[in-house]
Structure 1
Amino acid sequence: MTSRTQQLVDTLTARIQEGVIRPGERLPTESDLVETYGVSRTVVREAIARLKAAGLIETQHGRGSFVLARPSTTGFDPAPARTRQEVLDLLDFRMGVEVEAAGLAAARRSEAGLTGLREALESFESAAGHPSAAVNADYLFHLRIALVTGNRYFADLLASLGPSMIIMPRERLRPDRPDFARIVAEHDHIYAAIRRQDAEGARAAVRVHLSNSRARLLQDEDPRA
């Protein structure tokens, strides 16, 4: 079982990776973290120490803890996929990365991580008919799976891709289209496998989801439309 300290580390790391707390901004105070997350001061202090050790924050005496700007640790800075073949190549690349990430997420997930995944799922469902919001929520769901692995390289890699890795024809995001409901169901299957700590089931669910994404794109004359 994941400790309360690690759950808090996972939660704060996710907020930093997702840009909720930006470089240069101060973390909530120790008292605020205790109240918000219902943990002891000892847990908060240990979590802060781990974030410092990971190079995510620095503590300034008398001022608090601040998020550090993090250069890309992967050295990976891909150009956006523009042609049909590049879009399909991107999906192949994601398959290679995200299938294993889902398996690790299932094995290592915390309650805080599950909460973040559930929130991203709900954001996607509520974004039906709003393409930009749907793409951002879809990306957030996949990024949070990477964060739940506890392996920063998965998270860094998906962060370097950004929301542009979600290639989804806008017509398919209408709530009256069956494709949207299918995508919601595929996300739900991924979440369910991670929740029950079924690593092989999570890998299979992501593989099915990305294979279906590829098939949906091939049905469209222009996958970037």
Structure 2
Amino acid sequence: MTTTLAHAVVTGLKEAILRGDLPPGAKLPSEPQLVEQYGVSRTVVREAVTRLRSEGLVETFHGRGSFVLALPEPSPFAAESTRIRTHDDVLAMLDFRIGVESEAAALAAHHRTPTDERAIRAATEDFGRQGHEGAVSADFDFHRAVAAATGNRFYLELVESLGPMMIMLPRTQLGEPYSMTDATHVERVQREHDAIADAVLAGDADTARAAMRVHLGSSRRRVGSTSSPSAG
């Protein structure tokens, strides 16, 4: 419920920022004002402001409050899955993800919030419940939850820019034993996710980093051992 209420506050403040009602440099209403305006608790308001801060929309100064930042200019950089076309591209993407997501897991262990912890637990549980049709989406939701737990919007934006195809593309290079219709493979991925989640939730950054590296490294080794007509 807290998460849903915080989302309503975030949405309302975002709309005010985009309309120009809260221009760059403007101070957000105080906590008591937001509590009264939205009819929520201080905890909900604080979570909403934390989300706005993680998205780069506001900056908070101790003792002074939170201030609206200028909206960022569109970036020309994009790590889009549509640009990944060959076997070599898939390998390069996995190498990239190993570096980025291993560090994201370590940061998540340091910076996770109770909301992040709930999202990570829900994603691991959802993956275990899904049939093969929904497994790719559930797998992506887990990686997205870890990225969000870093508290660093750039990790989250990167994972979201790749989308569920970052999970699907490596599997197009593999045979049936590594598909989501294979129970043994699903169980293996579930164990790997559980190891990452356990370390993140325990606040063990080194183990979280290593567990993510093992998880993505396993995919990298499997894809690297195959041959593809599209490989360069």
Alignment TM-score, normalising by the size of structure 1 = 0.69
Residue of 216, 219, 224 corresponding to 1:218: 224
Matched, 1:180 2:196: no
| Cα displacement (A) at 1:43 | 2.8
Task: Give distance in 1, aligned partners of 2:88 and 2:7.
Answer: 37
Equivalent position of 1:155 in the other structure? 156
Q: Which moved more, 1:159-168 or 1:91-100?
A: 159-168
Alignment check: 8 A CA contact 1:106 1:195 kept:
yes
Matched, 1:84 2:93: no
How many matched pairs?
Answer: 184
In structure 2, distance between residues paired with 1:147 and 1:194? 12
Q: 1:72 to 1:137 in 2, by over 3 A?
A: farther
**Residue in structure 1 matched with residue 45 of structure 2 by the alignment:** 45
1:1-225 map, 5 Å: 12=7, 30-31=38-39, 34=40, 40=41, 42-51=42-51, 54-55=56-57, 75-78=77-80, 79-130=82-133, 133-166=134-167, 167-169=170-172, 171=176, 172-174=178-180, 176-221=182-227
In structure 2, distance between residues paired with 1:80 and 1:200: 32
CA distance in 2, matches of 1:94, 1:84: 15
Q: Compute the displacement of 1:150 (Å).
A: 0.3
Could you tell me how far 1:158 is from its partner in structure 2?
1.1
Which consecutive residues of structure 1, in runs of 5 or more, have no partner in the other structure?
1-6, 17-22, 35-39, 57-68
Compute the displacement of 1:72 (Å).
5.4
Larger Rg: 2
Find the aligned partners of 1:74 and 1:187 in 2 and give their Cα distance: 32
| Amino acid corresponding to residue 101 of structure 2 in structure 1 | E
What is the CA-CA distance between 1:215 and the residue it aligns to? Answer: 2.0
Q: TM-score w.r.t. structure 2 length?
A: 0.67
The amino acid that maps onto 2:138 is: A
Percent identity among equivalent residues? 35
Give the CA RMSD over aligned residues: 3.4
Deviation at 1:179, TM superposition (A): 1.4
What CA distance in whole angstroms lies between the structure 1 residues aligned with 2:121 and 2:105?
15
